[in-house]
Amino acid sequence: MSQTTEQINRSDIGDILENSLNGHRPGPEDCLRLLESDDVHLMGLVSGHLTRKQFGKKVSFVNNIILNYTNVCITDCKFCAFYRSPGSDDAYTLSLDQIESRVKTAWDMFKIRQVLIQGGHNPNLKIEYYENAFKMIRQKFPEVGVHGLSASEIDMISRIEKSSTKEVLSRLKESGLQSIPGAGAEILVDSVKDVISPKKISSTDWIRIMDEAHSLDIPASATMMYGHVENNDDIVDHFFKIVKLQEKTSGFMAFIPWNFEPNNTLMQEEKLVEYGTGGTQLLKMIAISRLVFNGLIPHIQSSWLTNGVGMAQLALQYGANDFGGTLIGEEVVSCTGSRSTELTGKLIVDAIHQIGYQAEERDNFYNSIALL
């Protein structure tokens, strides 16, 4: 690190990076300075060092499928190219038999360890639909973890059932829900949400539902979708709302920053956002995520889905330690036409080996299954 030390001494963010190396996480003002700095390479050197200190040169991934169980949605988010209104010709909802068939095929072919269950806000689905699906997966495929339903989907179920979100979470946990993805956060600032997803839950509700999940011992991921109408102050707010909750609950296992992909979305049509933010911004967001959450949220995901495998390899050297999951049958990002969204375990392992790291298959709780 001696050459790096010299660079740190010369950098306009050197004091922040030095504090990070000494175990002091950046505060909100420091985070804003990092976002405004162009010294992305130096941030990456420091965040990469902190990551290797914790994980060595080991990168985890999970063999999974994303099960988009319905595309029917009444939330009409401007950033989404996937949803269809109720009654649309190409609207669908999977039956229990179809869900079983997809999970069985994925288990037989790929030995998946997790099914990530996400869909639209479908007003026709009662809680029993989810309970029956989760029970079936856990009974018939006990080695496959159920990682499912965003906070906003849980809010939708609670409104349909006229029940509290905590009661919904409790029932879903009893039927087999094991962990919750971070979707629905976008940017946890309501002035941003009012533009991109005015019908979706507020920032306060997202935090509250995650707090309730953690209180029921349901761990979760946290996410950030950046690169649309937010500014740097909004990003700082988002980071530190998650910091505050994590300091209280320790319920987040991972953080996943990913860039908004505008193709085929209403936001592109309305010229709110015409193109994505690109690779340099991804590396900056990965590095800052590691610095902000170091010692607080252990795992930072490489965000290959919206940026591709090559960028994910770089992200692993800028502070990420987890590749995320394999994807077979994903439908949401693929609706933007941005890239192929199919990736098998072998391709992930090869990508990790190419940069001189060791691959570790994990389950949905980040427990090691095998070193590859």
303 is in an annotated binding site: yes
Q: Could you give the percent of the chain with pLDDT greater than 90? A: 71
Instruction: Give CA–CA dist 270/84, Å, rounded.
Output: 19
79 is in an annotated binding site: yes
pLDDT in tens, 191-248: 999 988 887 899 999 999 999 999 999 999 999 999 898 999 999 999 999 999 999 9
3-state secondary structure of 344: coil
Structural domain count, the chain: 1
Across the range 257-274, mean pLDDT stands at 70
Structural contact between residues 256 and 321, judged by C-beta atoms closer than 8 angstroms: no
Q: Return the higher-pLDDT residue of 158 and 7.
A: 158
Name the helix (H) or strand (E) containing 67: strand 64-68
pLDDT in tens, 309-332: 899 999 999 999 999 998 765 443
- What is the residue type of 18? E
- Provide the H-helix boundaries in the chain: 2-10, 14-21, 28-36, 40-55, 96-110, 127-140, 151-161, 165-175, 190-196, 203-215, 232-249, 266-269, 279-293, 304-315, 345-354
Distance of CA 247 to the CA centre of its chain: 19
Instruction: Say which CATH number the domain at 42 has.
Output: 3.20.20.70
150 is in an annotated binding site: yes
Task: Examine the pLDDT at 112 and tell me if it is beyond 70.
Answer: yes
DSSP secondary-structure letter at 178? -
- Amino acid 333: pLDDT: 40
Print the domain residue range for 8: 2-371
Query: How much is the pTM?
Result: 0.91
2 is in an annotated binding site: no
Task: Examine the pLDDT at 306 and tell me if it is beyond 90.
Answer: no
- Amino acid 196: pLDDT: 85
37 is in an annotated binding site: no
Q: Return the higher-pLDDT residue of 342 and 312.
A: 312
Across the range 110-135, mean pLDDT stands at 92
Find all residues with CB under 8 Å of 365, minimum gap 6, and list them. Answer: 145, 178, 179, 219, 253
80 is in an annotated binding site: yes
